[in-house]
């Protein structure tokens, strides 16, 4: 959850969204311990902030050692964006350090979070951000 505290474009509800989502996924029998979840908030309440490097590391952690029958849950609440490249528009997630590190593009999200999953895995992904409808760059 990224509220972009003290920054231009500050949001007010993203951290609260994460706390509410934690209660929901607990009801769905996802464990809440630190070995089962990586929570990145920009209010200083978590060990890691939602920077580009930490988002990438959390995504890699999420899908590592995935096997058939596993169920994964990814939730993002923060700014989303859209950039134009030679091959069209790409939807993005905006990490806390986006002005220096850039934005996390849909193609990278697909390659790092979706493609590594073997058949038989389930990934539930909730993206609460502008332009997030195509943010996983799914081929279907």
Catalytic residue among 79, 90, 94, 131: 79
8 Å CB contact between 103 and 93: yes
In whole angstroms, give the CA distance from residue 57 to residue 64: 10
Can 79 be counted among the known catalytic residues? yes
Q: Which residues of 78-115 are buried (b: 16+ CB within 10 A; e: fewer)?
A: bbbbeeeeeeeebbbbbbbebeeeebbbbebbeebbbe
Catalytic residue among 90, 94, 121, 130: 130
Can 130 be counted among the known catalytic residues? yes
Question: The tokens of 111 are what?
Answer: 């390659």
The residues annotated as belonging to the active site are 79, 130
């Amino acid at each position: 959850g990224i509220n972009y505290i003290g920054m231009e474009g500050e949001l007010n509800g993203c951290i609260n969204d994460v706390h509410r989502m934690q209660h929901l996924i607990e009801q769905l029998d996802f464990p809440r311990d630190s070995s089962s979840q990586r929570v990145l908030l920009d209010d200083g309440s978590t060990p890691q902030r939602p920077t580009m490097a930490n988002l990438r590391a959390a995504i890699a952690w999420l899908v590592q050692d995935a096997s058939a029958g596993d169920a994964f849950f990814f939730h993002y609440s923060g700014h989303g964006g859209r950039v134009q490249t030679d091959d069209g528009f790409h939807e993005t997630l905006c990490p806390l350090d986006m002005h220096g590190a850039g934005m996390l593009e849909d193609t990278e999200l697909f390659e790092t979070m979706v493609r590594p999953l073997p058949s038989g895995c389930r990934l539930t992904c909730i993206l609460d951000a502008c332009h997030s409808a195509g943010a996983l760059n799914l081929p279907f």
